[in-house]
Structures are given as C-alpha cells and as structure tokens.
A = this chain, B = another copy of it.
Amino acid sequence: MAEILPPPAHPALFLRAAAGLETERPPVWLMRQAGRILPQYRALRAGFPDFKTFVKTPEAAAEATLQPVDELGVDAAIIFSDILVIPEAMGLDYEMIESKGPRFPKVIENQADVTSLAAGAEAAARLEYVYEALRITRRELAGRVPLIGFAGAPWTIFAYMLEGGGSKTFSKARRMLYTQPALAHNLLQKITDTTIAYLRQQVASGADLLQLFDSWAGELPPAQYRTFAVPYLRQICEALPEAPKTVFAKGAWFALEDIGELPCEVVGLDWNTPPAFARARAGEAKVLQGNLDPCCLYAPPALIEAETREMIRQFGRRHIANLGHGVYPDTPLDGVRVFVETVKSFQWT
C-alpha cells in the first residue's frame, strides 16, 4: 500500500466539524500520529541523541508534525511536542528514558517546592522552541489542514510533578489531595496560569485548535475530579476564547456531565466509553472525538474497516474520528491507513 498516495485532506473539514457544523463525513486524525508508527519519523529521530533535544529543535518538531499529513492524509496536524515541557518550564527538569517514559529526578513534596516554581507568562516564555515549531509548521502546511496545539491538563501535570513519572497507583499525588488540599490547589493554580500563557502563545504562533490531555483523569474519585480537576479545566477553557478547545479526560466517564458544561467545543473519549453514553452525559452541544480501540489497528483490514464504520455509525453526526488513546508505537502502518481511509471514504447521506 505504501506507493498509493493518500486521498487529499479537506482543509476546512476539521474546523467546521469542531465548530459543530454539519460535514459530509467525520474528519479524522490520530493522537500520537506524529511519531514512531512512521518510518520517516524514526529516520528523523535517529539523527538526534535524545528525545528532548529532538523536541527542542523547532525544524525537527515541525517536520515530525508534517509527516503524518503527507504520509497518511489526516485532516489535522498536531504539533510534535510533549506535555512535560510545562513542568520543565516551571523549573522541574525531566529525563525521557528510552522505551520507559519520563522521570523527574526531583519531585514536589512541600510548600517550599511549590513556591520555588516559576509560573504564568514567565514560565511560558521559556517555551519559545514550541512556538517556533508552530510557526514553521503553519507556514509549511500552507492551509492544507489545521494545526492543533496542546497541553497536559493541570491534574495530569500535577500528578507527574509529584510522582516523578508514571505510577501504578498515583498514591503520592492523590495523597496530597487528602492531606494538603490547600497546597495542592496552590500548585494546580500555578500549573493552570502557566498553561493559559502557554496556550495563548501557541495560538499566537499558529495553532488553530487546542487540546487538553488529562491522561490520569481516571485515577480520581468523582468528587475529587470535580474539586481538583474541573475548575482548572474551566479556567483554561474560559481564558482561550480565541480557539476551539478539546478536553480529553481519559477514564473520566464519571465526569462527562461536568465536562459537558465546560466552555469547550469538543470532548475526547477513550475506547471504554460507548458513544451513546457519552452523548447522553456530555449533552447535545458538544462535538465528540474518538474512540476506536488502538488495538483494533492490529486486526486484519476487513475488521478494522468494519469496526471503524460501526464506530462512525454509533457516534452519528457531530463527531471527529480518532482512536480512544494515542496510537501504540508498534501499530502496523497499513492498519493506520485502513482506519484513515475508511473514515475518508465514508459519506453521510
């Protein structure tokens, strides 16, 4: 299949869909589409000593961002970066351990640690390399498809800053919500202020839409998600009227009613969430994004096609096609193509 050119993407489709307008088919893109699934990415990446150097080289980040648009014909580009640039800009350095994930040598433990962090515009000013990558990408895209900027949601960034990496239980981060709630709010506010300044600059640098990734949303009890996550998502959404916003809170099925009341346009869904359940909870006003099981792309083509069409049918209109999680790095490229092309050949009658 590699020699077949992908069908052309539709420049306005994604923005129209995100605005809730009727479209002839759902637009399609994949979380983590810029990355290891593409041989072009692996070749580009091989020229850099480590992940962070790569992320901090705007020309390379821009090239990685453009690759899936060229290779897969997706309807949107998403800037190649990492949600952990925010803790780093606030003063908490991280390492990316190959095939393991991020690790923070120092974590947040007390008030002094929180006080010592930079925040807001001062911290966001340290992310010029992201803004430059956005400017380059926007220029190179030349209007072919819109460009998505993104950030981690405050609770997820908070969890990384306390855990020092991923975790089975997130019990260090979650413990603080019970034992030092005021300190937790203090840190969440600093993260939020930084994220708002960061996303404003992303829009000023060429991001057409914004997505917030709340990767660890599903770790919180419903009442805590309402107290420690939703208000900060609200602040961010309210502060950025200039771009359509997607909130993707993985595992937070229990918070879909709250998320449905946020001033965002699109709600991202994981692969556990039946479309009808999400629609009933998030309300009629939202566009829903998702949610094919990323493992489905390991399946034979006919099954990928059938599952993709069934997903579109279940969502109905007001839907942006995507997976329910970032595409797994070992996903066969042909499986990704079948997914993208099945969506692109769909036609609402």
Chain A residues in the interface with B (C-beta under 8 A)? 101, 166, 168-169, 171, 174-175, 177-179, 218, 220-222, 224, 251, 253-254, 271-274, 277, 293-296, 298-300, 303, 324-325, 328, 330
B254 A296 Cβ-Cβ under 8 A: no
**CA A251 to CA B273, docked complex, whole Å:** 11
Q: Which residues of B contact A169 (CB under 8 A)?
A: 294-295, 325, 328
Report yes or no: B330 in contact with A272, Cβ–Cβ below 8 A. no
Minimum distance in angstroms from A251 CB to a CB of chain B: 8
Q: Pick the residue among B174, B272, B273, B274 that contacts A293 (CB under 8 A).
A: B174
B300 touches A179 (CB 8 A): yes
A295, B254: Cβ atoms closer than 8 Å: no
B218 near A177: Cβ-Cβ < 8 Å: no
Q: Is the CB of B177 within 8 A of A295?
A: yes
Report if A330-B171 is in contact (Cβ < 8 Å); known contacts: A178-B303, A254-B273, A272-B221: yes
> Are B328 and A171 in contact, with the CB atoms below 8 A?
yes
Residues of B within 8 A of A171 (CB): 294-295, 298, 328, 330
Across the interface, A175 reaches (CB within 8 A) one of B101, B254, B298, namely B298
Q: Is the CB of B328 within 8 A of A296?
A: no
Given contacts A169-B328, A253-B254, A328-B169, contact A295 B222 (CB under 8 A): no
State whether A175 touches B221 (Cβ < 8 A).
Answer: no
Partner of A254, one of B277, B293, B324: B277
A-B contact sample (10 more), CB < 8 A, given A178-B299, A251-B272: A101-B168, A169-B328, A171-B294, A171-B330, A178-B295, A179-B300, A221-B272, A224-B293, A251-B251, A254-B273
Nearest Cβ in chain B — how far from A190, in angstroms? 22
Whether the Cβ atoms of B168 and A274 lie closer than 8 Å is no
Given known contacts A254-B273, A274-B254, A295-B174, A168 and B166 CB-to-CB distance under 8 angstroms: yes
Interface centre among A175, A220, A254, A330 (most CB of B within 10 A): A175
Is A222 within 8 A of B274, CB to CB? yes
A279: shortest Cβ distance to chain B, in Å? 14
Bound CA span A5–B128, Å: 62
Complexed CA–CA distance, A175 and B304 (Å): 12
Known contacts A166-B168, A274-B254, A330-B171; A221 and B293 CB within 8 A of each other: yes
- Please, which residue of chain B has its CB at the minimum distance from the CB of A170? B295
What is the chain B residue whose CB lies nearest that of A177? B295
Q: Which of chain B's residues have a CB closer than 8 A to the CB of A179? A: 298-300
Q: 15 A–B contact pairs at CB < 8 A? A: A169-B295, A169-B325, A171-B298, A171-B328, A174-B293, A174-B295, A175-B295, A175-B298, A178-B295, A178-B299, A178-B303, A220-B272, A224-B293, A253-B253, A254-B274
- Using Cβ atoms and an 8 Å threshold, which residues of chain B touch A293? 174, 221, 224
Which 7 pairs, one residue from A and one from B, show the smallest C-beta to C-beta distance? A178-B299, A174-B295, A175-B298, A221-B293, A221-B271, A171-B328, A178-B298
